[in-house]
């Protein structure tokens, strides 16, 4: 079954074609990052307008790359929640029009569920490994979920304030680095000493919750006191290490508490090499199987939406053409 995936929840216009939830035939991603960089972050109205311009060329390119025509598609999956409403509406309108015109089954996909399913693209045998633990680390969300089956999630921990991606992005701004912050902090950190500045780690007792807002404040305080004396690469590496340590340790605790042996990571921050190295070391020490998708599948893309849509359609009837978009909604809502 060839599923067309469409993703426009933030600043990437993406269309993908995935066969049977595992074989990526095309995954076209048109990023708007350069456009938003001058504003220091995503401007929702600019994002919506760019999606309108790019949606059809991106769809066409997906077909060309896959060597397919519209007639080869068997279903359409589109991100409908959560995200920037104006941006979501562009992808959802295009997907509905296509599904109607071609009489194809259509499914609205939760963006975080899409991130989770990037792991199934990386490791198709995961479907036999339930229950799984998934650390979701994106720009707006940080959570640890237990996945008991397709579409079945239990929230074990979540951030009480900033998301990990937000901590990277806000830290980048304080360090004077351009948008998008995460990759730029990671790049600068490569030459730095992660032990130079002892930034705080917020453990919150035995909880699997996270808190990153204090870390951001301590970076601000450090910067104003340090007056540029410490090399910025050392500051970036130390700041990144504080985020990575907490994410890694909380996933270790979740695995110990639940006894689950297969752990996955999803979302833009999962593209961070320092995080994946720390998770690898932790998984090896604990005897866990770890799945980390390739960086292009960690950040926003439509292949993950097509994969999530495929598995949803295997187990549920398609959505009607009247489904809505939602700016925020927890993972696991129908
Ligand atoms: O999942 P994603 O692409 O979009 C959302 O759903 O939010 O995640 C974007 C977040 C941003 O905060 C970005 O700075 C962060 O992921 N990010 C990274 C890296 N690549 C993207 N953070 C750290 N290191 C990276 N290499
Ligand atoms: Zn995302």
Do the Cβ atoms of 14 and 296 come closer than 8 Å? Answer: no
Ligand 1 atom closest to Cα of residue 169: 14
Q: Tell me the CA–centroid distance for residue 273 and ligand 2, in Å.
A: 18
Ligand 1 binding pocket (C-beta < 6 A) is 10, 138-140, 165, 168-169, 180-183, 186, 267-269, 271-272, 299-300
| Per-residue pLDDT, 243 | 98
Q: Tell me the CA–centroid distance for residue 130 and ligand 2, in Å.
A: 23
**What is the number of the ligand closest to the CA of 11?**
1
pLDDT in tens, 107-158: 999 999 999 999 999 999 998 999 999 999 999 999 999 999 999 999 999 9
Do the Cβ atoms of 72 and 2 come closer than 8 Å? Answer: yes
| Per-residue pLDDT, 332 | 85
**Fold match between 2-116+297-315 and 129-293?**
yes
From 165, 175, 188, 292, the mutation candidate for ligand 1 (largest count of ligand atoms within 8 A of CB) is 165
Q: Tell me the CA–centroid distance for residue 275 and ligand 1, in Å.
A: 12
From first to last of the 334 residues of the chain, give the pLDDT tens digit: 999 999 999 999 999 999 999 999 999 999 998 899 889 889 999 999 999 999 999 999 999 999 999 999 999 999 999 999 999 999 999 999 999 999 999 999 999 999 999 999 999 999 899 999 999 999 999 999 999 999 999 999 999 999 999 999 999 999 999 988 999 999 999 999 999 999 999 999 999 999 999 999 999 999 999 999 999 999 999 999 999 999 999 999 999 999 999 999 999 999 999 999 999 999 999 999 999 999 999 999 999 999 999 999 999 999 999 999 999 999 986 5
| Per-residue pLDDT, 334 | 58
Task: Name the closest-CA residue to atom 3, ligand 1.
Answer: 299
Give the rounded distance of the alpha carbon of 91 from its chain centre: 17
| Per-residue pLDDT, 40 | 87
| Per-residue pLDDT, 23 | 98
Q: Residue ranges per domain, the chain?
A: 2-116+297-315, 129-293
Q: Tell me the CA–centroid distance for residue 97 and ligand 1, in Å.
A: 30
Give the rounded distance of the alpha carbon of 19 from its chain centre: 21
Task: Name the closest-CA residue to atom 13, ligand 1.
Answer: 182
CA angle centred on 143, ends 280 and 260, rounded to 5°: 55
Distance (Å) of CA 69 to CA 21, 79, 131: 19, 22, 38
Distance CA 108, CA 321 (A): 10
| Per-residue pLDDT, 264 | 98
Helix (H) or strand (E) holding 53: helix 44-66
Report the 10 Å Cβ neighbour count for 117: 31
Q: Tell me the CA–centroid distance for residue 111 and ligand 2, in Å.
A: 6
- The domain 129-293 is classified under which CATH number: 3.40.1190.20, 3.20.20.450, 3.30.300.180, 3.30.420.40? 3.30.420.40
Q: Tell me the CA–centroid distance for residue 178 and ligand 1, in Å.
A: 14
Q: Tell me the CA–centroid distance for residue 171 and ligand 1, in Å.
A: 13
Enumerate residues 6+ apart whose C-beta is below 8 A from 176: 232
Task: Name the closest-CA residue to atom 8, ligand 1.
Answer: 268
Ligand 1 atom closest to Cα of residue 9: 6
| Per-residue pLDDT, 333 | 67
- The domain 2-116+297-315 is classified under which CATH number: 3.40.50.10860, 3.30.420.40, 1.10.150.20, 3.90.1640.10? 3.30.420.40
Residue 295, Cβ density class (10 Å: 0-12 exposed, 13-18 middle, ≥19 buried): middle
Ligand 1 atom closest to Cα of residue 83: 6
């Amino acid at each position: 079954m060839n599923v067309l995936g469409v993703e426009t929840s933030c600043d990437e216009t993406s269309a993908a074609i995935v066969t049977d939830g595992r074989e990526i035939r095309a995954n076209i991603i048109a990023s708007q990052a350069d456009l938003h960089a001058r504003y220091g972050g995503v401007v929702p109205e600019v994002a919506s307008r760019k999606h309108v311009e790019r949606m059809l060329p991106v769809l066409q390119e997906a077909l060309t790359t896959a060597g397919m025509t519209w007639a080869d598609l068997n279903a359409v999956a589109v991100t409908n929640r959560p995200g920037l409403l104006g941006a979501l509406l562009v992808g959802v309108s295009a997907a509905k029009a296509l599904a109607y015109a071609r009489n194809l089954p259509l499914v609205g996909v939760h963006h975080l569920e899409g991130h989770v399913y990037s792991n199934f693209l990386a490791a198709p045998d995961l479907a036999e490994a339930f229950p799984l633990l998934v650390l979701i680390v994106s720009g707006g969300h940080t959570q640890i979920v237990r996945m008991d089956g397709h579409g079945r999630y239990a929230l074990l921990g979540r951030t009480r304030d900033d998301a990990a991606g937000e901590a990277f992005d806000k830290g980048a701004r304080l360090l004077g680095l351009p948008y998008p912050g995460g990759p730029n902090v990671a790049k600068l950190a490569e030459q730095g000493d992660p032990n130079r500045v002892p930034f705080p780690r917020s453990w919150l007792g035995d909880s699997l919750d996270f808190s990153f807002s204090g870390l951001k404040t301590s970076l601000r305080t450090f910067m104003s006191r340090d007056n540029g004396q410490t090399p910025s690469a050392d500051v970036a590496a130390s700041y990144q290490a504080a985020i990575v340590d907490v994410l890694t340790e909380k996933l270790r605790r979740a695995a110990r508490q639940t006894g689950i042996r297969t752990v996955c990571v999803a979302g833009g921050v999962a593209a961070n090499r320092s995080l994946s190295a720390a998770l690898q070391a932790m998984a090896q020490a604990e005897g866990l199987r770890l799945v980390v998708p390739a960086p292009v599948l960690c950040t926003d893309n439509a292949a993950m939406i097509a994969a999530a849509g495929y598995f949803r359609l295997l187990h549920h009837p398609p959505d009607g053409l009247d489904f809505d978009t939602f700016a925020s909604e927890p993972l696991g809502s129908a």
